[in-house]
Amino acid sequence: MSSFVVKGGNRLEGEIDVQGAKNDVLPILAATILNGGKNVIHNCPDLRDVNITIEVLKNLGCSVTKQGRILFVDSSDINGYTIPDTLMRQMRSSIIFLGAIISKFKKAVVSMPGGCEIGNRPIDLHLKALKQLGVKISESHGYINCEVDKLEGGNIHLDFPSVGATENIMLAACMAEGITTVTNAAREPEIVDLECFLNRMGAKISGSGSDVIKIEGVKRLYGVEHTIIPDRIAAATYLSCAAITGGQLILRHVNSGHMDAMTAVLKEMGCKIYDERNRIIISSPKGKLKNVKRIVTMPYPGFPTDIQSPFMSLSSISDGTSVFVENIFENRFQHVEELVRMGADIKVDGRIAVVQGVNKLSSARVVAKDLRGGAALIVAALSAEGVTTVENAKYIDRGYECIERYLSMCGVNIKREE
């Protein structure tokens, strides 16, 4: 079980090329099975979740080869419509394949994804939407069995703007009969890029980025070339690393337009942020960060739940009290007890965490319990006095491409220990 060992106190200074977005590449890889052709995906991040998704594609009969950050996916010999328990348990977001497999084979058998570290992660919205497209769904022995004679478009209203459910509807409906309209759709940039990818394949989708998406079914789709968008959450995590150390950082290959809610909070904390076309430059205050009274997670374009924990690390040494409200997931404060071990003053009550800034954090042996909570512990360790060990590096590797290399290149004392 590998860990990160961080000696705190160094100012982060340097430049980082931001990785491709994990939450963009996963649905796009699922979409490649729709076109039964050759696809070339550029700027693919080297992450555990991407490797598991590649295993799912191979398990379905696709051929996948990698050259650096370029993935070649050939789905012409796809022959399977089942995702086994072993793969679903490794990564529950494999549920994103459901819509695409049903569209391709008119049937699908996937293991129940189950919950994960941050919540029980229901898929009722996905299944309700697929039923509205005519899919018959039964659940038995821990598997979801789906069948449909012909997918027929319709009007689907999402009770909650679920990212995954929106994506599954787009994938299932793009070759359905007729028109599908999704209202209360998720508006994340990754949804917009999925529309761009599908339309390049020959789909007819419009409206993504707004809460109403229209999908006009087409007969056939074709293999394409595409570049994954920058990872806005990884980018904001690195900005947090600069902010907590009073450092300076140039982030290249970002889309600052996807990061307004996060950079606004950093500015409120006293950081200077300059954004140019595809670069962001942060210059952090040498003294204490100002506290931000309330941080409330919301669907995009609101403050993203995925950056809540790294920003809580920042607030734990800011000069006042901050109230965090986590509206998206019911168990996304697992990093709190670990931050408290490092000297943070945080009280949790349900979905609310009250953070009283302290003067300094101190090093400790802490345990990552989920991807973004683990990232928050690394952010905290950068400013803590002494040597902090963050266990369970595997969680962090799910979403951050060789984080220790990027941070070391910017003057941070961080090593991976097997």
Q: Is 363 helix (H, G, I), strand (E, B) or coil?
A: coil
Instruction: Tell me if 39 sits within 8 A of 72, measured CB to CB.
Output: yes
Q: Does 158 bind ligand EPZ (CB under 6 A)?
A: no
Residue 54 or residue 364: which is nearer to ligand EPZ going by CB? 54
124 contacts ligand EPZ (rule: CB under 6 A)? yes
Distance CA 33, CA 73 (A): 9
Binding status of residue 319 toward ligand EPZ by CB under 6 A: no
Task: Decide whether 57 or 364 has the Cβ nearer to ligand EPZ.
Answer: 57
Instruction: Specify the 3-state DSSP secondary structure of 379.
Output: helix
Cβ–Cβ under 8 Å, residues 337 and 320: no
Per the CB < 8 A criterion, the answer to whether 123 and 113 are in contact is yes
Residue nearest to ligand EPZ as judged by C-beta position: 164
Active site residue 116: yes
Q: Which residues contact 337 (CB under 8 A, 6 or more apart)?
A: none
Q: Closest separation between CB of residue 361 and ligand EPZ, Å? A: 23
**What angle is formed at CA 305 by the lines to CA 302 and CA 306, rounded to 5 degrees?**
120
Q: What gap in Å lies between CA 13 and CA 282, rounded to an integer? A: 10
Question: 26: Cβ–Cβ under 8 A, 6 or more apart, which residues?
Answer: 49, 50, 53, 93, 96
By CB under 6 A, name the one of 16, 25, 26, 50 that touches ligand EPZ.
Answer: 26
Number of residues that bind ligand EPZ (CB under 6 A): 24
Q: Is 163 in the site for ligand EPZ (CB under 6 A)?
A: yes
Given 116, 196, 241, 271, which residue is catalytic?
Answer: 116
Of positions 193, 195, 231, 306, contacts ligand EPZ by CB under 6 A: 306
Footprint (CB under 6 A) of ligand EPZ, residues 103-122? 119, 121-122
| Residue-level length of the chain | 418
C-beta of 283: minimal distance to ligand EPZ in Å? 27
87 in contact with ligand EPZ (CB under 6 A): no
By CB under 6 A, name the binding residues for ligand EPZ.
22-23, 26, 93, 119, 121-126, 160, 162-165, 186, 305-306, 328-329, 371-372, 399
Enzyme catalytic residues:
116
